[in-house]
């Protein structure tokens, strides 16, 4: 990275002992953990190959494969440049302040040699003194080794002058590479991260680590995290640490990404490893891998003492409210949402809420239901943690592979002592409303619901950006949907009066059935739409405790929320 301000990494790749007439080198099209084909090869420039000082013939044979002809030499060197200027947890980035390498977007691999070990040397830009990665040192400054391409690609690298912190959890050293300025209490931060990590360890009860690295990018607006085998990258709003909600949100992100070191990196659907870096890797189980991780992430923060039982139930209530007020929840199942992540999940548009549901949000609620069902069936002796432990031992340790959809259901049945085939058919692979009342009732809880409003609603979101009132989405079967209001319509007048603010504010108090006349500009032409306002269908849900729970219900509740008498 000799000129980091230009955003180019310069990569040199030496290959020894390749005896064929030619070798194909590939750049992945996606990053594991982020289910979208991103076409990383589009950022590659100046590809060339040499052997003993002689330039070799090369050709690009498809979008992400370069063929190097080396009939007279088994050893050769490849050089290429990578443009890296997208600071996200899924991509790579380089500027005058720091460099971040996400392996799949920078490193190529021999098509027939993913299993080969390699040595990596990082040459930081002038004046940079820190390199943080979970790759093992190989001797020499900033030199590391990986056992395979999968490990190299799954070990992000932070380069610059970032602050390096550390703590120990479960006998394992943990490093925290903090890039960017942020206000936080260092001692408190490390102690709280340690508590979260140790609580996460208790879920599966097995420690597969000998080291772990948190790479934290403190920026203006955080974007989330991405899990890796021995590390994670967290993108955090730099002011998050200064408020109670923001700080708990950070700890929740830590818990979620850290728990991934078990769930998905080791306990995984069979489709998610070994990876096919050329194509989509389809699975119906992201509601377990991501939604289930969201479920355990929230539980871990609660179990660690950062969130009270009441606040945990309030958060779960908010999750139910969000899912059940999403029209797409009735259209797309959690399993379908998982399978279609490649074409829908990472490509939302103005109609996404009407056609789909997040496997994160829906999966978290399914996890809660399964947990309560298992606790109830076993009279408080087992819970969803035991399913994770079984999957870890049976598939990761013994069979050394992922599990199928049916094997996951069988694991739940083994722990619970009975099968839940009807539940999976109706609520995981189907779109029926989850049986909240029945399942929450096992814990002496009930779900109350109340309309958000008894008045009418436009059923559209309106942007005020640029001084214009522009429709950005319409809700399936709502007033705007039925009345013909389109996304990108500019709203000019309501009932003959010029609009100067979001009409949702004016219409919120009108009774259902009221006729409205909306003047809009559509593709530069004026149109008048007249339609009745429909009643708001939004419902607010709240989990409440029953007045006199039975001893059996109290047992379930205590197990679920880790309440100790």
Residue 468 predicted with pLDDT over 90: yes
The CA distance from 22 to 78, in Å, is: 13
Classify residue 109 by burial, with Cβ atoms within 10 Å: 0-12, 13-18, 19+: buried
Burial call 256-285: b when 16+ CB within 10 Å, e when fewer: bbbbbbbbbbbbbbebbbebebbebbebbb
Residue 455 pLDDT: 83
What is the separation of C-alpha 413 from the centre of its chain, rounded to a whole number of angstroms? Answer: 27
* SS3 (DSSP) at 507: helix
**CATH numeric code, 262-444+554-565:** 1.10.390.10
Does 441 have pLDDT greater than 90?
A: yes
Short-list 233, 213, 228, CA closest to 173: 213
Which of 360, 251, 305, 312 minimizes the C-alpha distance to 560? 312
Phi, psi dihedral angles at 299 (to 5 degrees)? -65, -40
pLDDT in tens, 374-403: 999 999 999 999 999 999 999 999 999 999
Helix (H, G, I), strand (E, B) or coil at 309: helix
Pick the CATH number of 456-535 from 3.40.50.300, 3.40.50.2000, 2.30.42.10, 3.40.50.620: 2.30.42.10
Instruction: Please report the pLDDT score of residue 546 as a whole number.
Output: 87
| pLDDT band, very low/low/confident/very high, at 453 (cuts 50, 70, 90) | confident
Q: 432: buried, middle or exposed (CB in 10 Å: 19+, 13-18, 0-12)?
A: exposed
CB 130 within 8 A of CB 165: no
Which spans in 91-185 are helix H?
149-153
| Burial class of residue 183 (count of CB atoms within 10 Å of its CB; 0-12, 13-18, 19+) | exposed
Residues, the chain, total?
565
Whether the predicted pLDDT of 427 surpasses 70: yes
Rounded (5°) CA angle 338-342-343: 105
> C-alpha distances in angstroms, 81 versus 5, 67, 296, 431, 472?
14, 17, 41, 47, 39
Q: What percent of the chain has pLDDT over 70?
A: 100
Whether pLDDT at 565 is above 90: no
Alpha carbon 518 to chain centroid distance?
A: 40
Looking at residue 530, its pLDDT comes to 96
Q: Determine which of 247-256, 310-319, 403-412, 498-507 has the lowest per-residue pLDDT on average.
A: 498-507
Q: Are residues 29 and 41 in contact, defined by beta-carbon separation less than 8 angstroms? A: yes
Mean pLDDT of the chain: 97
User: Which 3 state secondary structure label does DSSP give 86?
Assistant: coil
Sheet holding 130-133, edge to edge: 93-94, 99-101, 157-160, 130-133
pLDDT attached to residue 508: 82
Q: Quick one: CA torsion of 114, 115, 118, 123, rounded to 10 degrees?
A: 40
Beta carbons within 10 angstroms of residue 391's beta carbon: 25
Residues 206-231: tens digit of each pLDDT: 999 999 999 999 999 999 999 999 99
Q: Which residue has the tokens 């992201």?
A: 286
CA 163 to CA 178: how far, in whole Å? 5
3-state secondary structure of 557: helix
Q: To which H or E segment does residue 352 belong? A: helix 352-355
Q: What is the tens place of the pLDDT at every residue in 519-547?
A: 999 999 999 999 999 999 999 999 999 88
What the block records as the tokens of 456 is 């009418």
The residues, any chain, with a CB within 8 Å of residue 373's CB and separated by 6 or more, are: 416, 420, 423, 439, 442
Provide mean pLDDT across the span 484-511.
93
- Contacts of residue 516, Cβ cutoff 8 Å, sequence gap at least 6: 494, 495, 507, 510, 530, 531, 532, 533
**pLDDT, tens digit (0-9, with 9 covering 90-100), for 294-353:** 999 999 999 999 999 999 999 999 999 999 999 999 999 999 999 999 999 999 999 999
Task: At 147, list the tokens.
Answer: 């056992």
| Sign of the dihedral defined by the CA atoms of residues 58, 61, 62, 68, in that order | negative
Phi and psi at residue 457, in whole multiples of 5°? -145, 145
Q: Which two tokens stand for residue 187?
A: 């001692």
Q: Which residues are CB-neighbours of 333 under 8 A, at least 6 positions away?
A: 357, 428, 429, 430, 431
In the numeric block, which tokens belong to residue 435?
Answer: 């049986």
Cβ distance 68 to 76 under 8 Å?
Answer: yes
At 64-83, the pLDDT tens digits run: 999 999 999 999 999 999 99
Per CATH, domain 4-142 is 2.70.98.60: no
Cβ neighbours of residue 293 under 8 Å, at least 6 residues apart?
256, 259, 260, 263, 264
Report domain extents, the chain. Answer: 4-142, 162-257, 262-444+554-565, 456-535
Nearest to 162 by CA among 142, 181, 135: 181
* One-character DSSP codes across 221-254: S--EEEE-SSEEEEEEETTGGGSHHHHHHHHHHH
Percentage of the chain modeled with pLDDT above 90: 96
Q: Phi and psi dihedrals of 517, rounded to 5? A: -120, 120
Backbone region of residue 211 per phi and psi (left: phi > 0; alpha: psi in -120 to 50; beta: other values): beta
What is the per-residue pLDDT for 11?
98
Same fold, 4-142 and 262-444+554-565: no
Quick: pLDDT tens for 19-66: 999 999 999 999 999 999 999 999 999 999 999 999 999 999 999 999
In our burial notation (b when 16+ CB lie closer than 10 A, e otherwise), range 199-228 reads bbbebbeeebbeebbbbbbbbeebeebbbb
| Domain 162-257, CATH homologous superfamily name and number | Neutral Protease Domain 2 (1.10.390.10)
- C-alpha 362/C-alpha 246 separation (Å) is 23
Residue bearing the bigger pLDDT, 439 or 510: 439
The band of 454, judged by pLDDT with boundaries at 50, 70 and 90, is confident
């Amino acid at each position: 990275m000799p000129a980091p301000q230009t955003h180019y990494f310069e990569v040199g790749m030496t290959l020894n002992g390749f005896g064929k007439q030619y070798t194909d080198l590939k750049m992945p099209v996606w990053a594991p953990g982020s289910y979208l084909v991103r076409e990383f090869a589009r950022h590659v420039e100046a590809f060339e190959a040499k052997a003993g000082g002689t330039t070799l013939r090369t050709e690009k044979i498809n979008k992400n494969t370069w063929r190097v002809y080396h009939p007279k030499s088994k050893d050769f060197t490849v050089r290429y440049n990578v443009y890296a200027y997208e600071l996200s947890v899924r991509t790579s980035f380089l500027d005058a302040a720091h460099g971040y390498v996400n392996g799949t977007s920078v490193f190529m691999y021999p098509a027939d040699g993913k299993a080969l070990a390699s040595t990596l040397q990082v040459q930081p830009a002038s004046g940079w003194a820190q390199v943080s990665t979970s790759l093992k040192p190989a001797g020499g400054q900033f030199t590391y080794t990986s056992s395979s391409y999968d490990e190299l690609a799954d070990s992000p690298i932070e380069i610059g002058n970032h602050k390096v912190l550390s703590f120990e959890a479960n006998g394992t050293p943990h490093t925290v590479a903090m890039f960017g300025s942020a206000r936080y209490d260092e001692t408190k931060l490390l102690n709280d991260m340690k508590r979260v990590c140790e609580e996460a360890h208790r879920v599966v009860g097995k420690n597969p680590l000998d080291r772990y690295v948190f790479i934290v990018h403190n920026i203006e607006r955080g974007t989330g995290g991405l899990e890796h085998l021995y590390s994670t990258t967290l993108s955090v709003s730099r002011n998050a640490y200064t408020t109670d909600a923001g700080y708990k949100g950070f700890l929740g992100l830590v818990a979620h990404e850290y728990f991934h070191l078990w769930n998905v990196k080791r306990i995984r659907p069979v489709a998610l490893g070994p990876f096919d870096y050329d194509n989509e890797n389809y699975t119906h189980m992201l509601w377990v891998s991501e939604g289930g991780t969201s479920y355990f992430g929230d539980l871990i923060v609660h179990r660690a003492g950062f969130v009270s039982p009441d606040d945990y139930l309030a958060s779960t209530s908010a999750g139910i409210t969000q899912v059940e007020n999403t029209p797409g929840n009735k259209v797309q199942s959690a399993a379908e949402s998982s399978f279609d992540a490649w074409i829908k999940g990472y490509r939302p548009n103005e109609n996404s809420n009407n056609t789909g549901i997040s496997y994160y949000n829906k999966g978290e609620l399914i996890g809660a239901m399964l947990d309560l069902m298992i606790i109830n069936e076993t009279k408080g002796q087992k819970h969803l943690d035991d399913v994770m432990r079984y999957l870890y031992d049976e598939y990761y340790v013994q069979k050394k592979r992922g599990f199928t959809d049916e094997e996951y259901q069988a694991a739940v049945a083994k722990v619970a002592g009975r099968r839940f085939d009807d539940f999976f058919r109706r609520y995981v692979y189907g779109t029926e409303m989850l049986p909240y009342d029945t399942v929450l009732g096992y814990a002496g809880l009930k779900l109350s619901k109340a309309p958000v409003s008894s008045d009418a609603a436009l059923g559209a979101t309106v942007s005020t950006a640029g001084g214009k009132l522009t429709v950005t989405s319409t809700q399936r079967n709502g007033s705007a949907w039925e009345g013909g209001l389109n996304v990108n319509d500019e709203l000019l007048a309501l009932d003959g009066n010029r609009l100067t603010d979001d009409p949702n504010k004016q219409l919120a108090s009108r009774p259902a059935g009221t006729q409205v006349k909306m003047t809009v500009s559509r593709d530069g032409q004026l149109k008048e739409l007249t339609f009745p306002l429909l009643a708001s269908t939004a419902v607010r849900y709240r989990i409440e405790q029953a007045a006199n729970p039975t001893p059996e219900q109290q047992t379930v509740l205590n197990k679920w929320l880790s309440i100790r008498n």
